[in-house]
Amino acid sequence: MPELPEVQTTVNGIHRVAKGLTIKDVWTDYNSPFHSQKDNIKNPSFFTEFSKAVIGANIVGASRRAKNILIHLSNGKTILVHMKMTGHMMFGKYRIDTSKAKDPWSPVEADGPLADPFNRFIHFVITFSNNTQLVLSDMRKFAKVTLLDTESLSTSPDLQHIGPEPLDAQFTLNVFKERINKKPNGKIKSVLMDQTLISGIGNIYSDEVLWRAGVHPETTVSKIPEDKVKAMLKAVKETLERGIDFGGDSMSDYRNIDGERGKFQDHHEAYRRTGKECRKRGCGGKIVRKVVGGRSAHFCDTHQEK
C-alpha cells in the first residue's frame, strides 16, 4: 500500500501538472453491489451526483492527509482518493476503446512510461478541458474515491479519526511519546502503523524506522527506554523525508504521476532483505523476517534488541 512518501509524491505531482485545469468529464467502471448506498464512486448513484458536482470546476491545488490524496476544487469541494493496496494516479493523454470490456483506457504514447504494465488497470478518469487526463490505475480495485466539502474536511468520517502528521513541526518528542503511549502494551511495529495514533506510516517505513533506531519490532511500547524513543522520532522524520526525496517506493506497483517508478526500494536497509547482512557499520547481523501483528516485519537479529 502506498504510504506517506508515495502519497506525498503523488500530491506534489498533481499540484504541479493539474493546478488551474478545468474538469471537462469524469469516467469510471467501478460498480460494486457491496458499495450500494455508500458515499463513493463505486456506487453508481453516488457517481452520478459526483459527476454533476465536479464537471466544470477548476483544480485549485492538491494536498495530503495521512495516506489520502485531497484534490481541491474551485467550487468548495474536494475529491478524496485513497489508493489502498495497489492504486496510483497518473497524468497524461489517454484514449478509450469502448470495444474493450476490460481496461479500455490506454496511453496515447504506447511506448512511454504510462505504458508500463502496472499502469494499465485504469478504473477512474478525470478529463480536463485541454484533453489531458488524471487517471487512477487500481489493479485490485480496492481504491476509494469520494467527494467532500473542503471547509469540513477535518471532521469528515474519512479523516476525523486520523492521528497527527509525523512530518509536521508540531510533531515533537512529547507528542510522539503521547501518541505511542496510548497503547503501552502494544508491539511497537503495530503501534507505528496504527493510523489513529500516527498517520502515514505503513509496513515498509515502519521496518526502516525501527532498523535506523535499533528497536526490535516486537518490543512493548512501555519497555522502550527514553533514548530509543528519541531515536525513533528522529528515524521517523528522516526515513519519511528520505522516501519523499527518492520519489517513493516502487518495489511493488506504485508509480508516480508520470507513470515512473520511485527509487526508495534501492535504499532499503531492512524491508524485504531477508537473509542478507545488516549494513549497519560494525553490526555483523543478518536481516530476518517474522510476522508481527499479522504483518511481515524485517529486522536485524543483532543490533535491534528486544
Residue 3 annotated in active site:
yes
Distances (CA, A) of 139 to 14, 39, 148, 256: 20, 21, 25, 15
Residue 281 annotated in active site:
no
Residue 2 annotated in active site:
yes
How many Å apart are CA 28 and CA 43, to the nearest integer? 10
Cell 496504527, residue? 194
Write down the catalytic residue from 84, 234, 276, 295: 295
Please choose, from the candidates 259, 256, 247, the residue with its C-alpha nearest in 3D space to the C-alpha of residue 94. 259
52: buried, middle or exposed (CB in 10 Å: 19+, 13-18, 0-12)?
exposed
DSSP string, 92-157: E-EEE-TT-SS--EEESSTTSGGGSGGG--EEEEEEETTS-EEEEEETTS--EEEEEEGGGGGGST
Write down the catalytic residue from 42, 64, 67, 228: 67
Q: What length is written for the chain?
A: 306
Active site residues: 2-3, 67, 295
